[in-house]
Structures are given as structure tokens and as C-alpha cells.
Structure 1
Amino acid sequence: MLCSIILVHSVFVAFQTASTFWLAIAIEIPKVTNATLIGVYALISFSGVVFVYVKSYLTALLGLKASTAFFSSFTTSIFNAPMVFFDSTPVGRILTRASSDLSILDFDIPYSITFVICVGIEILVMICIMVSVTWQVLIVAVPALVASIFVQQYYQATASELIRINGTTKAPVMNFAAETSLGVVTVRAFNMADRFFKNYLQLVDTDASLFFHSNVTIEWEILRIEALQNLTVITAALLLILLPQGYVSPGLVGLSLSYAFTLTAGQIFWTRWFSNLSNYIISVERIKQFIRIPAEPPAIVDGNRPPSSWPSKGKIDLQGLE
């Protein structure tokens, strides 16, 4: 399924690149009329729309299959869990897995995977087009890419722990809300609603604080990635300006510049979704923790069953009946 998504999007990118190359080359051919120029461009562009639809369909299908598998395993594990598990596990922890973590698995992870793969392919195409016009840009692009990987790894070490801690702060909120709703009559009878509401807000603030810090770390990473990619764009623009006149056709110069300016936005988009995907995977880890719960022993053990005639006899003895 994932290979199909990569293949379909690669075909779409090929159509997209072909349409831009057609504009860059055909605009310098005098025999090509405006109608032909626009018509061929529209034909190539609309041909890629079909592959966008197929990619979206495959992404939704991928998410549905993954969600079905995890949800079935999760519910089976919870329903077959021993009673000691429910005695030692707060209700909020189970509800968090069944609500927010499964929601991330249903909606966020499939599209995050698709965005990371698709935008990654587009970034590679952008770099290849820039290199085909001015190969000297690799002198700056390669070190910038290495520095971006270092920044990504440095960020991920902190972000993963923040997300894990944030997962533990959601459970008390759910647990407190569930227990308060069950004992709301007692809370109101003793006029303690304000106290419980204050405690609830404190739990929400703790959870929101970690969520805020998670977003701050993403912005910290994106700021540095953007600076590195801007360095690549500036280098590409300077090289195009310093090239001798007539060395590269004006159409290819415009094409290279347009892709260079798009590279920064594409890299930021890819970085954001890759970071989100790395954080979303932690929800899968949390769900798998509950999938691996040892099950309750079976109600019927084939090798240890009483005979079919059991009990062979029985009686009812009533004593002191008045």
C-alpha cells in the first residue's frame, strides 16, 4: 500500500515537473502559439489530477486498515484483561488510549506519512532541477542538508520525551472528570463544586503547559531549518545572477528560481509533518502497551474439564424449614 502511494505520487510529480518544463522551453519557441502553450500545459496538469485522487484514496484505505487492526487488538486485549489490571489502572488511562491515541492513529498518522513521503519526493525534484541548471548550488545545499539532519535529531530527543510526558498528563484529566461525574451528587451535597472545578483547571493547565512546550520546540526547529534553506536559496539566486549571459536560457533560469523559492516552504512543511509524525508514533507505542496485556485465563480448559456426567448425583437438604 505504501509503495503504491509512493509510485502514484511520483507519477504526479513527473506530470507537474513536465508541465513546468514545457512552459520554460516552449515559451522560447516562436512557432508555439499561445493556445498551444496553454493547451498542452493544461492537458499535462489535468492529467496529474487523477493521480492526486488515487493517492488520497490509498491514504484513506491505509489508515482504515491500520485503524481496524489496532482497534480490534486493543478492544480484544481490554475485554480479556484480568481484573487486577482494572484494579491497578485508572479509568482515565484507558480512556486516553481509546480516545485521543486512537484518534491520532485514525486520522493523523496516515496523512502524516503521506505528506512526509510526497513532500520529500517533491523536495528531491526541486533540488535536482536546481542542480541541473547550476550544479554549484550543491556546495551549499549538501552542508545545509547535513546541518538540518543534525537539528532534526537534536529536536527529536527532547520532543519525544515531552510527548510521552504529555501523554501521562492527559490521563489524570480524563480520570478526574469521570470520577467527578460519578460523584457529582455528593460533590454538590457538600458544596464542593468550586474546589473540584479548581482542581480540574489545575490538571488542564498542567496538560496544556506540556502541549505548549511541544509546539515551542517545533517552532525552534523550524526556525533553524528555514535559515539553512534560505542560505541554499540565496546561493542559487547569486549563482544565476553571476552566470555569463547566454549560458542558461531565461526560461530555465526562471524555472530554477521558482523552484528555489518553493524549496524553503517545502522544507518547512516537510519538517513540520515529519516532526508531527515522530510525535504521533508515540501514540502507537501507548496503544501497543495495552495490546500486550496478559489475558485472563480461558473459562474453559479442554485438558482440565469435568466429565460430561458431572455431577453424577445431587440432593437438596432442607433443615429447620418453618
Structure 2
Amino acid sequence: MFTLITGYFQATAREVKRLEAVQRSSVYSQFGESLSGLTTIKAYKSEKRFLRNIDKTIDKMNEAHYLVNAGQRYLSINLTVLVASLSLLVGLLCCFRVFNIDAASTGLLLSYVMEISDSFVLLFRISTQVENQMNSVERLKYYAVNLPQEAPVHITSATPPPSWPEYGEDWYLWKNRCW
């Protein structure tokens, strides 16, 4: 049951976390652009327009962040309900003498069931959080490895000869005349 609840949660949580990360990066980008162009913004008296834009962007990021938090609460509540129902089931089985054990052993069994269940809840919550935080690693890997390679700065096949300009013409005309 723990695995089913966690799997159901993780299917959406991963994508919502990606959405939140994209929205957060747009907030940082817009904030950095505003800081670098602060003198221009003040010169054109556009402070209110830029504040409205950053407010809209922050609101969009907070929408995604709220969904991430709501999903984590969903997981926490469902796992806690599962732990409580498991403890109730074991307690009822012990009280109705399905297991032929004494009261002290019943108390010990219930405390162990609660402890193990709480450990499972913590384990599954941490594992889902780790998987959600791996979105950052995925994005870093994409930017480091999967982006298309830019053209080199110096292209040796298109460099003019050292004696250029020989005739006082620009490179484009010289190249077309030679080829």
C-alpha cells in the first residue's frame, strides 16, 4: 500500500516540480534583468510596469509551489491514514484475541507497528523528495550535455588571408570574386 500511494503521488509530483523549477528560473531571470537595467528603467519611469511584471511572474511561480506543497501534504496524509489503519487493525486483532498473546506483548507489538510504520512513512517521504529534487540535476545535465554546440569563434576556412584587404574591398566581395 505504501508503494502504491507513493507511486500514484510521484507520477504527478515530478512534473509539478519541473514546472515549479521552470517558473522559479523565470523569476530569477526577470529579477536579474531588472537589476542590470535599473538605470534605464528609472530613466523611462517604468518602475510600476516592471513591478507588475515581476509580481505576475512570482504569482505564477507560487501557484506551482503551492501545488508542490499540496502534493506533499496529500502524500503525508495518505501515509499517516495508512499507518493509523494498520495500527488499528493490529490493535483490534490483538483485542479480539485473534493472536493469542498477553496484554504486555500486545502493547509492545503496537509500539513496534507504530515505529516501523512511521519509519516507512519517513522513508517514502524522503525518497519522493529526493526524486523531486533530482529535477535540478536533470536540468543541469541538460544544460551541460544536451544543448546543441555553438559554432566556433574562429572559423579557419572563412578567415581572410593575412594580406587582406589587398584591393580596399570588403571580405564578402573578395570571397565572391575568388570563388
TM-score range, shorter chain: 0.7 to 0.9
Alignment of 1:152-231 (within 5 A): 152-231=6-85
TM-aligned CA distance change 1:237 to 1:278, over 3 Å: same
Instruction: State the identity as a percent.
Output: 23
Structure 1 contact 233–260 (Cα < 8 Å) conserved: yes
Q: Give, in whole Å, the separation in 2 of the partners of 1:151 and 1:162.
A: 17
Query: Could you tell me how far apart the structure 1 residues matched to 2:5 and 2:104 are?
Result: 35
Q: CA deviation at 1:200?
A: 0.8
Structure 1's 294 and 191: CA in aligned 2 closer, same or farther, altered over 3 A? closer
> Any stretches of 5+ residues in structure 2 without a counterpart?
167-179
**What is the rounded CA distance, in whole Å, between the counterparts of 2:114 and 2:126 in structure 1?**
20
Q: Contact 1:163–1:282 at 8 Å: present in 2 too?
A: yes
Contact in 1 for aligned 2:30/2:54 (Cα 8 Å): yes
Letter in 2 for 1:287: L
Partner of 2:113: 260
Q: Could you tell me how far 1:297 is from its partner in structure 2?
A: 6.9
User: Secondary structure of the residue that 1:221 maps to in structure 2?
Assistant: helix
1:234 paired with 2:119, answer: no
Count of residues paired in the alignment:
157
Alignment of 1:1-322 (within 5 A): 145=1, 148-243=2-97, 247-248=100-101, 251-292=104-145, 293-295=147-149
- Residue 229 of structure 1 deviates from its aligned partner by 2.1
The offset of 1:161, in angstroms, is 1.4
Say whether the 8 Å CA contact 1:222–1:271 is kept in structure 2. no
Counterpart of 2:138 in structure 1: which amino acid?
Answer: E
TM (normalized to structure 2)?
0.74
Cα distance between partner residues in 1 of 2:11 and 2:37: 41
Q: CA deviation at 1:248?
A: 3.4
Q: Which string of whole-angstrom CA distances, capped at 9 and with x for unpartnered residues, describes residues 57-82 of structure 1?
A: xxxxxxxxxxxxxxxxxxxxxxxxxx
State the distance in 2 between where 1:244 and 1:192 align. Answer: 75
